[in-house]
Structure 1
Amino acid sequence: MPLSENRPRLPSLTGLRFIAVLPVFAFHASLESPFADRGLDAAYAGLVANAGWLGVSFFFVLSGFVLTWSARPGDTAVRFWRRRAAKVYPLHLLTWAAALALLAWAGTPATAGQAVPNLLLVHTWVPDRAVFSSLNDVSWSLSCEVFFYLAFPLLIGAVRRIPPGRLRLWTAGTTLAVPALPLLSELLPAGEALPFGSGSVAQFWLVYVLPVGRALEFGLGILLARTVLAGRAALPGGVPAALVLLAAGYALSLRLPFLYGLTSATVVPIGLLVAAVARRDSEGRGSFLARPALVRPGEWSFAFYLVHRLLLQHGHRLLGEGRTWSAPAAAGLLAAALALALLISWALHTLVERPAMRLLAGSRAPAPPGPPERLTGTTPAQARAAVRAVPDTGEAATR
Structure 2
Amino acid sequence: MPAPDNRPLPDSGTSRLPSLTGLRFIAAFLVLLSHAGGFLLTRGAGSEKDYASYLFDAGNKGVSFFFILSGFVLTWVARPGDTRLRFWRRRLVKVFPNHLVTLAATVALMIYTGVAVTAANTVPTLFLVQSWIPDFDVIQGPGVNTPSWSLACELLFYLAFPWLLLAVRRIREEHLWRWVGGATLAIFAVPLIAQLTLPGAPLMQFDPIPWWDYWFVYYFPVPRLLEFVLGILVARIVLDKRWIGLRLGPAMLIAAAAFVAAAYLPGEYGRVAPTALPLALVIAAAATADAQGRRTPFSGRVMVWLGEISYAFYIVHFLVVSYGPIGIARRDFWMKVWTPSGILRDTVLTFAITLVLAWLLHTLVERPAMRRWSRARPPVAPTPTPSPTLATATQTEQDAPEATAPAATV
Hey, what's the Cα distance between the residues in 1 that align with 2:254 and 2:302? 26
Counterpart selection for 2:337 from 319, 324, 327? 324
Aligned twin of 1:60? 67
Q: Which residue of 1 aligns with 2:131?
A: 124
Q: TM-score, normalised by structure 1?
A: 0.87
Shift of 1:283: 1.0
User: Cα 1:244–1:31, aligned 2, differ >3 Å: closer, same or farther?
Assistant: closer
Name the CA shift for 1:18/1:167 in 2 (closer, same or farther; >3 Å): same
Q: Deviations over 1:205-263 (max 9, x none)?
A: 11111111000000000000011000003254x11111111111010111111201101
Map 1:157-306 onto structure 2 (within 5 A): 157-187=166-196, 188-236=198-246, 238-306=247-315
Greater C-alpha Rg: 2
Distance 2:101 2:64 in 1: 24
Corresponding residue number in structure 2 for 1:311: 320
Whole-Å separation in 1 of the counterparts to 2:234 and 2:53: 32
Identical counterparts, % of pairs:
44
Displacement after TM superposition at 1:174 (Å): 0.4
- In the other structure, the counterpart of 2:35 is 28
**d(CA) in 2 for partners of 1:196, 1:253:** 18
Q: Conserved in 2, the CA contact under 8 Å of 1:81 and 1:150?
A: yes
User: Is residue 93 from structure 1 mapped to residue 105 from structure 2 by the alignment?
Assistant: no
Kindly tell me: are residues 294 and 364 of structure 1, through their superposed partners in 2, closer, same or farther at Cα, counting changes over 3 Å?
A: farther
Letter in structure 1 aligned against 2:206: F
Cα deviation, residue 306, structure 1: 0.8
CA distance in 2: counterparts of 1:288 and 1:309, whole angstroms? 27
Distance apart, 1:110 and its partner CA: 2.4
Moved more, 177-186 or 318-327: 318-327
Aligned to 2:20: 13
CA contact (8 A) 1:77 1:153 kept: yes
1:82-112 deviation line (CA, Å, top 9, x unaligned): 0001000000001111111112222222211
Q: Are the equivalent residues in 1 in contact too, given 2:258–2:274 (CA < 8 A)? A: yes
Task: Supply the AA of the counterpart residue of 2:333.
Answer: E
* CA spacing shift, 1:146–1:364, aligned 2, 3 Å: farther
Change (3 A) 1:43 1:186: closer
Q: Which amino acid aligns with 1:352?
A: V
Per the TM alignment, residue 6 of structure 1 is displaced from its structure 2 partner at its CA by: 4.1
- CA distance 1:313–1:359, change in 2 (3 Å): same
Q: Equivalent residue of 2:273, what SS? A: coil
> Which whole-Å CA distance do the structure 2 matches of 1:336 and 1:158 have between them?
46
Is the Cα contact below 8 Å between 2:34 and 2:55 reproduced in 1? yes
CA distance in 2, matches of 1:128, 1:36: 26
Match in the other structure for 1:344? 357
Specify whether residues 364 and 16 from structure 1 end up closer, same or farther in structure 2 by C-alpha distance, changes over 3 A only: farther
Residue ranges of structure 1 left out of the alignment (5+ in a row): 366-393
- How many pairs were matched up? 366
Task: State the distance in 2 between where 1:13 and 1:249 align.
Answer: 20
For 1:41 and 1:314, the matched residues in 2 are separated by 23
Amino acid of the structure 2 residue aligned with 1:210: F
- Aligned amino acid, residue 361 of structure 1: S
State the one-letter code of the partner of 1:229.
L
Q: Contact 1:174/1:219 (CA < 8 Å) preserved in 2?
A: yes
Residues 41 and 51 of structure 2 are in contact (CA less than 8 Å); yes or no, is this contact kept in structure 1?
no
Task: List per-residue Cα deviations over 1:266-322 (Å, max 9, x = no partner).
Answer: 111100000000001111113121101111011111011111111011112379533
Does the CA-based 8 Å contact 1:15-1:290 persist in structure 2?
Answer: yes
Q: What's the offset of the Cα at 1:113?
A: 2.3
- Rounded Cα–Cα distance in structure 2 between residues aligned with 1:319 and 1:281: 47
Does the 8 Å contact 2:41/2:49 carry over to 1? no
Contact 1:4/1:72 (8 A) holds in 2: no
